[in-house]
Amino acid sequence: MSQQHTAAPARHSAAVTVADRRDWWRDAVIYQVYPRSFADSNGDGMGDLQGVRSRLPYLRDLGVDAVWLSPFYASPQADAGYDVADYRAVDPMFGSLLDADALIRDAHAHGLRIIVDLVPNHSSDQHEWFKRALAEGPGSPLRERYHFRPGKGKNGELPPNDWESIFGGPAWTRVPDGEWYLHLFAPEQPDFNWEHPAVGDEFRSILRFWLDMGVDGFRIDVAHGLVKAEGLPDLGAHDQLKLLGNDVMPFFDQDGVHAIYRQWRRILDEYAGERIFVAEAWTPTVERTANYVRPDELHQAFNFQYLGTEWDAKELRTVIDRTLEAMRPVGAPATWVLSNHDVTRHATRFANPPGLGTQIRTAGDRALGLRRARAATLLMLALPGSAYIYQGEELGLPDVVDLPDEVRQDPAYFRGAGQDGFRDGCRVPIPWTREGSSYGFGSGGSWLPQPPVWAELSVEAQTGVPGSTLELYRSALRVRRARPDLGAGDAVEWLRAPEGVLAFRRGEFVCVANTTGESVTTPAYGRILLTSGEVTEADGETKVPGDTTVWWTTAG
Summarised one tens digit per residue, pLDDT across range 481-492 is 998 778 888 999
270 belongs to the catalytic site: yes
Res 91: pLDDT: 98
Q: DSSP string spanning 435-488? A: SSTTTTS-SS--SSPPPGGGGGGSHHHHTT-TT-HHHHHHHHHHHHHH-TTSS-
Q: DSSP string spanning 478-529? A: HHHHH-TTSS--S--EE----TTEEEEEETTEEEEEE-SSS-EEEE--SEEE
pLDDT classification of 241: cutoffs 50, 70, 90: very low
Res 359: pLDDT: 66
* CB-based contact 299:277 (threshold 8 Å): yes
Read off the pLDDT of residues 30-56 as tens digits, 9 standing for 90 and up. 999 999 999 999 999 999 999 999 999
- Cβ within 8 Å of residue 155, ≥6 positions away: none
* CB-based contact 101:108 (threshold 8 Å): no
- Backbone dihedral region for residue 147 (phi beyond 0: left; psi -120 to 50: alpha; all else: beta): beta
Q: What is the largest CA-CA distance in the chain?
A: 82
Task: Name beta bridge partners: 190.
Answer: none
pLDDT classification of 358: cutoffs 50, 70, 90: low
- pLDDT surpassing 70 at residue 6: no
Strand order in the sheet with 541-544: 520-523, 541-544, 536-538
- Terminal alpha carbon distance of the chain: 60
Share of the chain above pLDDT 90, in %: 83
Strands 217-220 and 276-279: parallel
**Single-letter code of the amino acid located at 359:** Q
Nearest partner of 83 among 70, 96, 101, judged by Cα: 70
pLDDT classification of 20: cutoffs 50, 70, 90: low
pLDDT classification of 250: cutoffs 50, 70, 90: confident
Span 49-72, average pLDDT: 98
Mean pLDDT over all residues of the chain? Answer: 92
Q: DSSP string spanning 121-175? A: SB--TTSHHHHHHHHH-TT-GGGGGBTEE--BSTTS-B-SS--B-TTSSBSEEE-
* CB-based contact 486:479 (threshold 8 Å): yes
How crowded is the C-beta side of 33, counted as CA atoms within 13 Å?
31
* CB-based contact 188:124 (threshold 8 Å): yes
Residue predicted with more confidence, 549 or 19? 549
Catalytic hit among 65, 117, 221, 274: 221
Sign of CA dihedral 542, 367, 425, 164: positive
Span 235-252, average pLDDT: 60
**Single-letter code of the amino acid located at 209:** F
Nearest partner of 345 among 321, 326, 362, judged by Cα: 362
Nearest partner of 196 among 260, 279, 117, judged by Cα: 260
- Cβ within 8 Å of residue 448, ≥6 positions away: 37, 400, 403, 407, 409, 424, 427, 428, 429
Q: What pTM was estimated for this model as a whole?
A: 0.93
Strands 509-514 and 548-553: antiparallel
Neighbouring CB atoms inside 10 A of 255's CB total 9
Span 373-381, average pLDDT: 98
pLDDT classification of 248: cutoffs 50, 70, 90: low
125 belongs to the catalytic site: no
Catalytic hit among 177, 270, 405, 499: 270
